[in-house]
Amino acid sequence: MSFVLAIDQGTTSSRAILFRSDISIAATAQQEFPQHFPASGWVEHEPEDIWTSTIATCREALKKAGVGPKDIAAIGITNQRETAVVWDRATGQAVHRAIVWQDRRTADICARLKSEGHEPAISARTGLIIDPYFSGTKVAWILDHVPGARARAERGELLFGTVDCYLLWRLTGGKVHATDATNASRTLLFNIHTGQWDDELLKLLRVPRSMLPEVRDSSAKFGDSVGELFGGPIAIAGIAGDQQAATIGQACFSPGMIKSTYGTGCFALLNTGATPVASKNKLLTTIAYQLGGKRTYALEGSIFVAGAAVQWLRDGLGIIKQASETGPLADQCDSSQSVYLVPAFVGLGAPYWNPRLRGALFGLTRNTGPAEFAHAALESVCYQTFDLLAAMRADWPDATAASTVLRVDGGMTASDWTMQRLADLLDAPVDRPMIQETTALGAAYLAGLSAGVYPEPTKFADNWRLEHHFKPAMSQATREKKLAGWARAVKGLLASDEG
For 324-383, write each residue's pLDDT tens digit: 889 998 899 888 899 999 998 878 888 888 877 888 999 999 999 999 999 999 999 999
pLDDT at 386 (0 to 100): 94
What's the CA gap between 173 and 341, in Å, rounded? 49
Q: Can you tell me the distance from the alpha carbon of 130 to that of 205, in angstroms, rounded to the nearest whole number?
A: 11
Dihedrals φ, ψ of 453, to 5°?
Answer: -85, -40
pLDDT confidence band for 71 (50 / 70 / 90): very high
Segment 471-486 mean pLDDT: 95
Could you tell me the sign of the dihedral formed by the alpha carbons of 187, 183, 154, 201, in that order?
negative
Q: Quick: pLDDT tens for 260-276.
A: 999 888 999 999 999 89
List the single range of 73-77, 344-348, 464-468 with lowest mean pLDDT. Answer: 344-348
SS (H, E, C) 98-141: EECCCCCCCHHHHHHHHHCCCHHHHHHHHCCCCCCCCHHHHHHH
Spatial contact of 296 and 288, defined as CB atoms under 8 Å apart: yes
At residue 247 the predicted structure's pLDDT band, cuts being 50, 70 and 90, is very high
Q: Using a pLDDT cut of 70, give the percent of the chain over it.
A: 98
Q: How far is Cα 481 from Cα 471, in angstroms, rounded to an integer?
A: 19
pLDDT of amino acid 499: 52
Residues 123-137: tens digit of each pLDDT: 999 999 998 889 999
- Count other Cβ atoms within 10 Å, centred on residue 202: 17
Burial 2-27 (b: 16+ CB within 10 A, else e): ebbbbbbbbbeebbbbbbeeebebbb
- Does position 497 have pLDDT exceeding 90, yes or no? no
Give per-residue pLDDT as tens, 404-444: 788 999 888 989 999 999 999 999 899 999 888 899 999 99
Q: Give the separation between CA 294 and CA 271, rounded to whole angstroms.
A: 14
Angle at 165 between CA 264 and CA 121, to 5 degrees: 75
Q: What is the mean pLDDT of the chain?
A: 92
**C-alpha to C-alpha distance for 229 and 238, rounded to whole angstroms:** 19
Evaluate the CA torsion angle 405, 410, 411, 414 in order and state its sign.
positive
Nearest to 300 by CA among 14, 82, 45: 82
- So what's the pLDDT on residue 403? 58
Q: What is the percent of the chain with per-residue pLDDT over 90, rounded to a whole number?
A: 72
Residue 479: band (very low, low, confident or very high) from pLDDT cuts 50, 70, 90? very high
Q: Please report, for residues 94, 95, 142, 145, 325, the alpha-carbon distance to residue 148 in angstroms, rounded to integers and kept in the order given.
A: 14, 10, 10, 9, 53
